[in-house]
């Protein structure tokens, strides 16, 4: 079909007619030559990793405290410090309360802490009781309460000795206190009373129920007699956490992650595992055991990490989500940007400290997998999990510059793990980029050590994914495999556009086709709290009440829910289109054939899908899911009802059928043969 435009057409048809002509021309071009997508069902399917899609959790953008961790009180243990933020201090986010002519004071103390890892607490002194003297906390920008939901309030306390310097007070009598949930303006929502008595740290617990939904409540603790009490670990948790776990996770956020059907969860971070200096690395031992005995610290991203969400809770989240745990530890070096020589400079742990550090990693394996009769296995059991966590993978290092300092320490760790735990797969690192010096040196080092797997990272523009659909086609088989541990398409202004999501989807078809080489892949970062976002783009955004899903999230979800364990030979005759990608897999568990088609063009694509080897006349039930939007620049703004979301339908297909792939779309066919 030929179409010729000349200025006379504008005079003849006018602007409206010309517009319609242009639209017809676009349609004729899109449909003139149907695109063939042939899937060879009759040929041997190649085994691939059934665990390709997972998630990577790092406490960045307030992803843990104020995020996935369900604690509603901020700075519950009075450990905030100016080393984290210039205006932070142990009483940050706490307000002294003097009700009804009451008078008193609050000071920070450290003489008799609950535990050495939790050194600060407060002394609340009541000089004139009035209607109560105490403290209030509004959480992370207001405590959200749901109508009729139960909330568990708790704190640790003991009666302070009130000598002459502190004023009068009778320590022989208990101190009556009330715990209250109030609106921001002070309206009472729920209240309970209890009495503090004794000179030993004692936990106190209560349950509060709000009669109505409030997005910005506060927790108030008031004392009602002259005297003093020492307080620490003041906490408020929703009773309904993910899987109803104690010290658990925020239910809606954790469910959003679980809905991806992640096959693995990597934690506790990327750069976060290094910390700010050579002795500031994330120490897993500080994150297990009773929460009042865990050591909080300033994390790499500039705020306090309370590690209430620690290794125990993260391993448990893996189990609750049906995901493989992949903890990552430092390779005995700091981040190349945090050492004494920024850039490619590397500072390593002194070699005399390496045996103790390596033992810490061996202890981690014993804690995760050891019997309850072992030292660290017994500590896991004491936390409530007598059965092993079945740890099989450990990442060593993250985006490291491949320097002699790194190589020496990595080799020491790897050789110790290979000797003591040959059943554990060690995942190495090849730097922060998809190419370049560290990538080349990292791969050479991995091959020299015969590492089983390495971790590749790339944050790139959307076009890079389209240009690199065949990246892993040429990687050697039966050699070192790949974990794409961090990746994302960074569109203009680092926005979560549909364009970026579809570029990632196209990239995932390439990973799926090469699932014998690429074993794992995880988008990064995972979570970001609105108003506390330090890195963009992210997969899931949230505030105190709402969860906002990006198009990038839905891509991960569609691939996660529609993975397979065998890859079928697939031929896509895309013609001149440079924005079409496809992959096809079989899920052996269900027997379903799953076809994924990405159309990144601004025009529809008319595709003839041929399932070679299947009966030509037998109809098959297919669930079709389409993710598309108004245009490539579309984003899901802060709205509960996103602009871009998957639309699912059911239809019957035969071994040859046609499909009009919408412009800017990801389509998944799940065909029950």
Q: Which residues participate in catalysis according to the annotation?
A: 399
Q: How far apart are CA 252 and CA 236, in angstroms?
A: 17
Starting at the edge strand found earlier in the chain, the sheet holding 580-587 runs 46-47, 566-567, 580-587, 592-599, 665-672, 620-628, 645-653
Q: How far apart are CA 509 and CA 587, in angstroms?
A: 15
Residue 430 contacts residue 447 (beta carbons within 8 Å): no
Those residues whose C-beta lies under 8 Å from the C-beta of residue 176, and which sit 6 or more positions away, are 193, 194, 195, 223, 224, 225
Q: How many CB atoms lie within 10 A of CB 430?
A: 27
Q: What torsion do the CA atoms of 305, 308, 314, 317 make, to the nearest 10 degrees?
A: -130
Q: How far apart are CA 242 and CA 265, in angstroms?
A: 16
User: H or E segment at 559?
Assistant: helix 551-561
Q: How far apart are CA 464 and CA 269, in angstroms?
A: 25
Q: How far apart are CA 146 and CA 533, in angstroms?
A: 25
Q: Which among 261, 232, 198 is positioned nearest to 76, based on CA atoms?
A: 232
Which tokens sit at 151? 């909330």
Which three-class secondary structure state does DSSP give residue 322? coil
Distance of CA 208 to the CA centre of its chain: 30
- Helix-helix angle 354-369:404-420, to 10 degrees: 40
Which tokens sit at 431? 């730097």
Beta bridge partners of 527: 540
Going from the C-alpha of 68 to that of each of 63, 72, 139, 309, the distances in angstroms are 6, 11, 14, 8
Q: How far apart are CA 254 and CA 265, in angstroms?
A: 12
Q: How far apart are CA 525 and CA 540, in angstroms?
A: 9
Residue 83 contacts residue 552 (beta carbons within 8 Å): no
Beta bridge partners of 202: 157
């Amino acid at each position: 079909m030929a179409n010729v435009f000349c200025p006379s057409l504008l005079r003849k048809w006018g602007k409206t007619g010309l517009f319609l002509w242009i639209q017809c021309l676009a349609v004729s071009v899109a449909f003139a030559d149907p695109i063939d997508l042939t899937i060879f069902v009759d040929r041997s399917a190649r085994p691939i990793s059934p665990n390709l899609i997972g998630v990577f959790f790092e406490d960045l953008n307030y992803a843990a405290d104020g995020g996935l961790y369900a604690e509603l009180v901020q700075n519950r243990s009075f450990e905030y410090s100016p080393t984290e933020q210039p205006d932070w201090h142990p009483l940050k986010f706490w307000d002294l309360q003097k009700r009804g002519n009451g008078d008193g004071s609050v000071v920070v103390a450290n003489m008799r802490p609950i535990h050495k890892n939790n050194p600060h607490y407060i002394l609340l002194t009541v000089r004139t009781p009035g209607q109560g003297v105490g403290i209030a906390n509004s959480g992370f920008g207001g405590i959200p309460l749901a109508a009729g939901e139960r909330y568990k309030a708790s704190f640790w306390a003991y009666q302070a000795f009130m000598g002459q310097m502190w004023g009068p007070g009778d320590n022989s009598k208990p101190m009556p206190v009330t715990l209250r949930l109030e609106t921001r303006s002070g309206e009472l929502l729920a209240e309970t009373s209890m009495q503090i008595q004794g000179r030993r740290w004692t936990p106190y617990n209560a349950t509060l129920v709000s009669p109505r939904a409030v997005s910005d409540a506060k927790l108030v603790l008031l004392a009602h007699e002259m005297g003093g009490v020492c307080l620490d670990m003041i906490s408020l948790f929703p009773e309904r956490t993910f899987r109803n776990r104690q010290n658990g996770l925020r239910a809606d956020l954790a469910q959003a992650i679980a809905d991806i059907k992640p096959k693995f969860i990597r934690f506790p971070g990327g750069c976060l595992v290094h910390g700010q200096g050579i002795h500031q690395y994330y120490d897993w031992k500080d994150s297990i055991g009773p929460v009042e005995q865990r050591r909080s610290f300033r994390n790499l991203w500039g705020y306090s990490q309370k590690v209430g969400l620690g290794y125990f809770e993260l391993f448990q989240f893996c189990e609750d989500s049906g995901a493989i745990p992949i903890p990552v530890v430092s390779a005995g070096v700091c981040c190349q940007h945090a050492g004494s020589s920024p850039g490619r400079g590397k500072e390593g742990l002194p070699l005399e400290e390496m045996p103790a550090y390596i033992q810490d990693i061996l202890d981690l394996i014993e804690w995760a997998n050891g019997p309850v009769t072992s030292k660290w296995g017994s500590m896991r059991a004491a936390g409530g999990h007598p059965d092993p966590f079945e740890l099989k993978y450990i990442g060593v290092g993250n985006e490291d510059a491949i320097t002699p300092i790194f190589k020496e320490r990595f080799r020491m760790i790897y050789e110790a793990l290979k000797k003591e735990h040959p059943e554990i797969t060690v995942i190495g690192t090849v730097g922060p980029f998809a190419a370049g010096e560290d990538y080349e040196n990292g791969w050479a080092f991995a091959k020299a050590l015969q590492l089983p797997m390495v971790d590749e990272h790339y944050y790139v523009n959307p076009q890079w994914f389209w240009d690199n659909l065949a990246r892993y086609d040429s990687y050697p088989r039966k050699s070192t495999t790949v974990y794409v541990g961090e990746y994302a398409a960074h569109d203009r202004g680092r926005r979560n556009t549909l364009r970026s999501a579809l570029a990632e989807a196209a990239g995932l078809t390439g990973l799926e086709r090469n699932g014998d080489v690429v074993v794992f892949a995880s988008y990064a970062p995972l979570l970001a709290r609105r108003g506390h976002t330090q890195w963009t783009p992210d997969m899931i955004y949230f505030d105190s009440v709402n969860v906002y899903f990006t198009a990038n999230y839905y891509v991960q979800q569609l691939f996660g829910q529609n993975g397979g364990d065998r890859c079928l030979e697939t031929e896509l005759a895309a013609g001149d289109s440079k924005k079409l990608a496809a992959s096809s897999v079989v899920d052996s568990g269900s027997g379903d054939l799953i076809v994924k088609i990405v159309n990144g063009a601004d025009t529809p694509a008319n595709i003839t899908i041929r399932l070679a080897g299947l009966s030509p006349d037998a109809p098959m039930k297919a669930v079709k899911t389409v993710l598309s939007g108004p245009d490539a620049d579309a984003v899901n703004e802060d709205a509960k009802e996103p602009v871009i979301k998957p639309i699912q339908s059911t239809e019957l297909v035969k071994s040859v059928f046609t499909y009009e792939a919408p412009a800017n779309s990801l389509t998944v066919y799940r065909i029950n043969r």
